[in-house]
Structure 1
Amino acid sequence: MENKDILRLDQDFFGHPKPLQGLFLTELWERFSYYGIRPLLILYMTAMISQGGLGLDRANAAAIVGLFAGCIYLFTLVGGWLSDHWLGQERAVWYGSIIIALGHLSIALTAWGSSVFFYLGLVFLVIGSGLFKTCISVIVGTLYQAQDQRRDAGFSIFYMGINLGAFFAPLITGALLKNYGWHIGFGIGGVGMLVSLLIFRGLAMPQVARLRADFPLPQPAANSKQIRSIKRGVMLATLALITAIWSVYQGWVIIQPIAIIEYFALFIVAVVMSYFAYLFLFKGLNRTEKYRLILCFILFVAATLFWAVFEQQPTSLNLFAQDYTNRSIGSFEIPTVWFQSINAIFIIIFSPIAAWVWMTLARRQREPSYLAKFSLALVFAALGFAIMILAAQQVLNHGGLVSPFWLISCLLMMTFGELCLSPVGLSAMTKLAPKGLGGQMMGIWFTASAVGNLVAGWIGGHVSGNQLNQLPPLFSKCVMILLIGAVILALLRKPMLRLMQQQTEQG
């Protein structure tokens, strides 16, 4: 492609390729659907049956939320593999969108049927999101060449679209929940997913198709025989899933969420480590690709630590807002769910600033490395939890409700950390992934969120009247682990940069 054509494309969407526009809007509405129901889950499950809820205890409800979110991110690994070997990125996003919409429909049917529709809807959301999340991020990455300095800024813009959806969704669902009940609050998420589906089909896919001749998207690597084997595997997995759901529904198998969540995280970590070892030893990667793979693994570990703290927003921080935060402004009581919009509005405010900072530093050849940015993210997360230690201690010492500024300050620190890690991590995985493994490496990236959500779900069950005294020491351990992780990343930065530079020069 000639330089003049590249310049023309760069002027189409805030100095970025035009397909970023359709992908931005698609992700915005998909995230609206997700964040529209996510904060309601633990509140709905712990509400008394007489209040329209499921009447579960907090520990089990928090564990289910952790399992749900964790499985979403874990399934991105499967979604990435299917897209790389069978579906392709665009079809994976399209089918994922349809399955997510079915999940919202199933949850909405809970109002007229048994709770099985609620859990079935969660399963659909897991499968659909696993296909959707990995592949739409990979498509964004393919809009930029490997050395394009706008890559991190482009992902920051894309990330702002995510947070526009995350900002408006809790505000709308919170208001609907207060005035009309649980199921209208859940239903608005389904509307958002339908909008996302239509935007992707009518706007994003045509924009990407027009660019395909000049910037080809990765295509499935399997031949027809392999694809037939994959289809058979998918059919068998579907039958196994149906059998498992039916067994639970009939009471033949008893699910214990707390017991599952305590071991599932360790299992996932073991699987990911084995997967990295397989790629490193048996995939035929050259030395440069192996060093990049090592860097991907280090970023995975750091991201896992970060998300274990950050993803406590829908569980422990959500319950802290409900039980121990003063939400009254005169005669008006702020809905608990509205606190879930605080992080998103901070992202909207500071995301353009972060994009400008990274681009400015890049032009001056002073942009921090991926490890430096991740180290800074862990420090910010530690500061956020240090604030929550003080807030919990104030409740224990003085009783009553605390100012909402404790939560707001905590979320501000975690937002700064998120901006140093999440969009940067998306960019890093698309850039560092070995050829033909883009979807799978993006799945690995989201698997870090899976482990983080599982840990966050386990911690969330400790926020109750008779267990509040456990929070300060528990949060203190989180702060110490985050700071240790930040120090290790800082120490690894120079050795990894030196190795990467050496291999690039030799290559």
Structure 2
Amino acid sequence: MLKKFNATFWVASFLQLMERWAFYGIFTVLGLYLVASTDEGGLGFNHEQKAAIMAYVSAVLYFIPPILGVVADRIGYKLSLVISFIIMGVGYFMLSEATTYAAFFSIFLLAAIGGGFFKPVVNGIVARNTDESTSTIGFGIFYMMVNVGGFLGPAMSSPLRTAYGWRIIFIQGAVVMAINVLVALFLYKEPTTAKKDSKPLLTEIKESVMHIVEALKDKRLTILLLLMVGFWTMFNQLFYTLPNFIEDWVDSSAMSAWINENLPFLGTILTEKGQVKAEWFINIDSFMIIFFQVVVSYFVTKMTHVSAMIKGTIIATLGVTLTFVFNNPWFTIIGTVIFSLGEMASSPTLSAFVAQITPKGKEALYQGTVFLPVAAGNYLTYFISGYLYTRWSDKYTLLGNELAKRSIEMPKNLTKNQYFDLASEKLGMTKAQITEYLWQTYNPSKLWYVICAVGVFAALSLYVYDRVMKKKN
């Protein structure tokens, strides 16, 4: 079967793997870097700034592919690939030098535009180089490449940042994009296509937008996309909020000690400062998808599309909720494993269900709308990961509240580490004792109520949607 795929398909799959390597090598640890103390090489931002950077820029990343896809069709895929990789590579390298909120936001937005340019191109290449008999397994291989890259990126970033500091993760992303530029230039062969009558570019972009508007006039589609916003908002907590929650509250010292004692060769990779690094808990998700997506997909094929999405959403909600309820690392692992099973059942099924409700001849039109709930879910994630986390779960904020309650004044302009060291001295507690006291006093895990409610609402609303659609049919 694999022999049925041509060289161009494999080049596209490799480019996808590398692009995800660069992106997730940065994105999985980005929330940690943005709020890390400046004397550790982090930027020392607050959680609202962190969430705004990650949520708003990611929303743009998923909103622009239908528009930039028009540009790619006009100038050709080869040139589009090179331009997108150069934009991303330059953006990632510049991020290594950015130290202010405005600079980081602007440069990350530039890199996201490059990513948004790449998405429709690589999907188009795979679609062009598969047919009816190979498209299912072709996109399955392609999806696996996404997760192989999503696993390798953080797996490489973790030891690199320990050895060389935070800046190296952005340089790694730039180097990976430079490799992609060379592969696109020398190995990707542009297919010869018949010349079309060319319209002005702005006219084509306007038509692309109007096509999306036309598709959204179908109430079945629009309601479904709105309901999926809840799923993506819940889904995003794995990358936006959980790494910070782990670093703030989850005590993995016993697990770290066991690894260093029994598997010392892994100790330097998986652990730091007596704790298991947060990104390795998150990376369980990609690991599970790489090895179990085929098995989950087998069971999903025995369900209707909506049933699979509902069950997947419920399972994913249960999993991500578990990771926030307890400060025990085993619940973080178990919760992430459960979450990944739900993701495997629901995430790939949305496109298939949209295809099911698509009128004949409007396939491309309807599929162009699938990114919209992803963009909206990223945008709304700011509320949980930024606004709520700051007020309910940020250890730095809660410690400040406790010190103010006790009328203990702290000097201005301290780094976060200096602040915690001085607070430890003034309170007469170790850092571990402060963490336990704040956990018991302020209940930072209550964030799970909101995350769970969003997921449950998404599942229930999909169930109601399914029942109503069945009655109408």
TM-score by length of 1: 0.69
2:108 matches 1:122: yes
Query: Comparing 482-491 with 455-464, which one deviates more in the overlay?
Result: 482-491
One-letter identity of the residue aligned with 2:296? A
Matches within 5 A, 1:82-161: 82-83=71-72, 86-87=74-75, 91-110=79-98, 118-145=104-131, 148=132, 151-161=135-145
TM-aligned CA deviation for residue 106 of structure 1: 1.7
Instruction: Work out which of the residue numbers 475, 479, 489 in structure 1 matches 2:448.
Output: 475
- What whole-Å deviation, never above 9, does each CA across 1:131-162 have from its counterpart, x for those lacking one? 111332243334455xx476444323211111
- What whole-Å deviation, never above 9, does each CA across 1:415-474 have from its counterpart, x for those lacking one? 112212333334556784875773x65553223222222232331231312567575554
Contact 2:24 2:154 (8 Å CA) reproduced: yes
Distance 1:346 1:421, change over 3 A: same
State how far apart, in whole Å, the 2-side matches of 1:423 and 1:115 are.
Answer: 34
Match of 2:317 in 1: 382
Contact 1:83 1:92 (8 Å CA) reproduced: yes
State how far apart, in whole Å, the 1-side matches of 2:102 and 2:445 are.
Answer: 37
Contact 1:156 1:355 (8 Å CA) reproduced: no
One-letter identity of the residue aligned with 2:113? I
TM-aligned CA deviation for residue 309 of structure 1: 1.4
Distance 1:34 1:430, change over 3 A: farther
State how far apart, in whole Å, the 2-side matches of 1:89 and 1:138 are.
Answer: 9
Distance 1:107 1:434, change over 3 A: farther
Instruction: Work out which of the residue numbers 226, 229, 237 in structure 2 matches 1:312.
Output: 237
Distance 1:406 1:128, change over 3 A: same
TM-aligned CA deviation for residue 18 of structure 1: 5.7
CA RMSD of aligned residues (A): 3.5
Contact 2:13 2:145 (8 Å CA) reproduced: yes
State how far apart, in whole Å, the 1-side matches of 2:202 and 2:226 are.
Answer: 35
Instruction: Work out which of the residue numbers 139, 149, 171 in structure 2 matches 1:187.
Output: 171
- What whole-Å deviation, never above 9, does each CA across 1:334-384 have from its counterpart, x for those lacking one? 2233233111101111123234456xx4xxxxx433322222221112211
Contact 1:52 1:182 (8 Å CA) reproduced: yes
2:54 matches 1:65: yes
State how far apart, in whole Å, the 1-side matches of 2:122 and 2:101 are.
Answer: 32
One-letter identity of the residue aligned with 1:226? P
One-letter identity of the residue aligned with 2:160? L
- What whole-Å deviation, never above 9, does each CA across 1:207-255 have from its counterpart, x for those lacking one? x73xx78xx9xx87xx544227679x9xxxxxxxxxxxxxxxxxxxxxx
State how far apart, in whole Å, the 2-side matches of 1:494 and 1:18 are.
Answer: 45
Instruction: Work out which of the residue numbers 446, 456, 460 in structure 2 matches 1:487.
Output: 460
* Structure 2 residue matching 1:164: 3-state secondary structure: helix
Distance 1:48 1:447, change over 3 A: same
One-letter identity of the residue aligned with 1:187? I
Contact 2:21 2:153 (8 Å CA) reproduced: yes
Match of 2:418 in 1: none
The gaps in structure 1 that reach 5 residues or longer are: 1-9, 234-271, 282-292, 362-366, 392-401, 501-507
TM-aligned CA deviation for residue 308 of structure 1: 0.7
Instruction: Work out which of the residue numbers 159, 162, 179 in structure 1 matches 2:146.
Output: 162
Match of 1:372 in 2: 307
State how far apart, in whole Å, the 1-side matches of 2:239 and 2:353 are.
Answer: 27
State how far apart, in whole Å, the 2-side matches of 1:109 and 1:160 are.
Answer: 33
Q: Which has the higher contact order (CA 8 A, sep 6+)?
A: 1
State how far apart, in whole Å, the 2-side matches of 1:94 and 1:424 are.
Answer: 31
State how far apart, in whole Å, the 1-side matches of 2:313 and 2:222 are.
Answer: 16
TM-aligned CA deviation for residue 118 of structure 1: 3.4
2:433 matches 1:447: no
Matches within 5 A, 1:388-407: 388-391=323-326, 402-407=327-332
Distance 1:106 1:442, change over 3 A: farther
TM-aligned CA deviation for residue 490 of structure 1: 3.4
Contact 1:157 1:352 (8 Å CA) reproduced: no
Distance 1:96 1:496, change over 3 A: farther
TM-aligned CA deviation for residue 491 of structure 1: 4.3
Contact 2:144 2:290 (8 Å CA) reproduced: yes
TM-score by length of 2: 0.74
How many residues of Structure 1 are paired with residues of Structure 2 in the alignment? 405
2:327 matches 1:338: no
Contact 2:34 2:45 (8 Å CA) reproduced: yes
TM-aligned CA deviation for residue 168 of structure 1: 1.4
Distance 1:17 1:305, change over 3 A: farther
- What whole-Å deviation, never above 9, does each CA across 1:26-48 have from its counterpart, x for those lacking one? 11100000001113322222123
